[in-house]
Amino acid sequence: MWAQVFIWVGGISLIVAMFPQTRALYSFLLTQYVQFFLIWVIASITDKATYFLIDFWLDKWATQTQQGSLVPERYIMRVNTYSGALKQATSVVIYSIAILFTVQAIGVSLAEIGIIGIALTYVFKAKVDNLINGCLILWTDQYAIGDVVQIGDVTGVVEHINLYLTQLRGAEGRLITIPNGSFEVVQNLTKDWSRVDFRVEIAYSADARKTLNMMEEVSEQMRNESEWQDKILEPAIILGVDNISHTGILISIWIKTAPIQQFAVGREFRLRIKQAFDQEGIAIGVPQQSVNFQNNANNANGDRNKGENSYLSALGGRE
């Protein structure tokens, strides 16, 4: 790109230099163009060099810090997140400095540039808030690319993040863009580890202790299988009976999983519980309602006799 710019600038300068009337303009343009060209070439080279340095530094940092970590994959996710955000930030800084040098080369004073900068900061206050919050998100590792998060009423996989905005991919495939300064609370569902919060309501007549033992056996059998050993981190925590109501007995279990694996583990565990319930004859809880029927046969006969007596009395009165 810069070679093309250099060719165009050189060609225009030669054309202007051919005519005596424009040779003074040629000297001015040549001086300005050379300055502009050097400023932007240096800015471009610096920008590319920082890309290389950022990747090198992040790779070295991840290699050193993930040794001995319980979740080494987390640092790989952070590298992917930091790389894009830092590259974008350094590009903004480098080209902003290039613009300042360019404007100064034209003849605009630093005082005027400062006034313009203050005005732009006031106008783009929301952008500054997004920038500050974006820095805090990255610094505190609130989430990274690949995490499943809930921001307000929106839940999805973090697909892209920079200093200004976060993009989530929803369950239906929708790409949701959220400015970093527009939220305060973030729920990260996959940082370091995840959990299956399994709840099932069985019939009131079912044997609750037998059901708890059976569910513990199912979870332990699943954890010992090679397919699920690396996904289920610990034995299931049998919380027990959480509630008893007219709909049945509520039983709760927690299963600690590797990050993002709670969805796959939860689906498989629910399938196995359904099969175990069918084999053991355990029914799911359903709402119960008692209906009492009152026998009104005697009342009906009494009312009928009263009606007949009233009719006979009416006939006797006529006679």
| The pair of three-digit structure tokens given for residue 113, joined into one six-digit string | 């540039």
Give dist(CA 66, CA 234) in Å, integer. Answer: 22
> pLDDT-derived band of residue 123, with 50, 70 and 90 as boundaries?
low
- Cβ(169)–Cβ(232) below 8 Å: no
Q: What is the average pLDDT across 94-105?
A: 81
Please tell me which residue, 119 or 173, carries the higher pLDDT value: 173
Instruction: Give Cα 62 distance to the centre of its chain.
Output: 23
Residue 201: partners with Cβ closer than 8 Å, 6 or more residues away: 247, 248, 249, 250, 251, 284, 285
Give dist(CA 7, CA 13) in Å, integer. Answer: 10
So what's the pLDDT on residue 22? 61
Q: Show me where the domains of the chain are located.
A: 2-123, 150-188, 194-280
Write the CA distances from 221 to 116, 277, 305, integer angstroms: 68, 16, 72
Over the chain, what is the mean pLDDT? 80
CATH class given for the domain over 194-280: alpha beta
> pLDDT-derived band of residue 192, with 50, 70 and 90 as boundaries?
confident
So what's the pLDDT on residue 140? 85
pLDDT digits (tens, 9 = 90+) for 250-299: 999 999 999 989 999 999 999 999 999 999 999 988 877 667 766 655 55
The pTM of the full predicted model, rounded to 2 decimals, is: 0.63
Cβ-in-10-Å burial (0-12, 13-18, 19+) of 55 comes to middle
So what's the pLDDT on residue 210? 93
So what's the pLDDT on residue 311? 46
Q: Spell out the alpha helix ranges (H) of the chain.
A: 2-17, 23-65, 73-106, 110-123, 125-140, 208-223, 226-229, 262-280, 297-318
Residue 283: partners with Cβ closer than 8 Å, 6 or more residues away: 202, 203, 205, 206, 277
Of 57-61, 118-122, 207-211, 298-302, the poorest mean pLDDT is in 298-302
Please tell me which residue, 78 or 238, carries the higher pLDDT value: 238
Please tell me which residue, 12 or 180, carries the higher pLDDT value: 180
At position 263, the amino acid (one-letter code) is F
| The pair of three-digit structure tokens given for residue 56, joined into one six-digit string | 């090198």
Count Cα neighbours of 210 within 13 Å in the Cβ-side half-sphere.
12
pLDDT digits (tens, 9 = 90+) for 9-18: 666 666 666 6
Q: What SS3 class is residue 220?
A: helix
DSSP string, 223-280: HTSHHHHTTB-S--EEEEEEEEETTEEEEEEEEEESTTTHHHHHHHHHHHHHHHHHHH
Fold of 150-188: SH3 type barrels. (2.30.30)
Please tell me which residue, 16 or 312, carries the higher pLDDT value: 16
* 48 closest CA partner among 103, 101, 1: 1
Phi/psi class of residue 309: alpha, beta or left (left: φ > 0; alpha: ψ in -120 to 50)? alpha
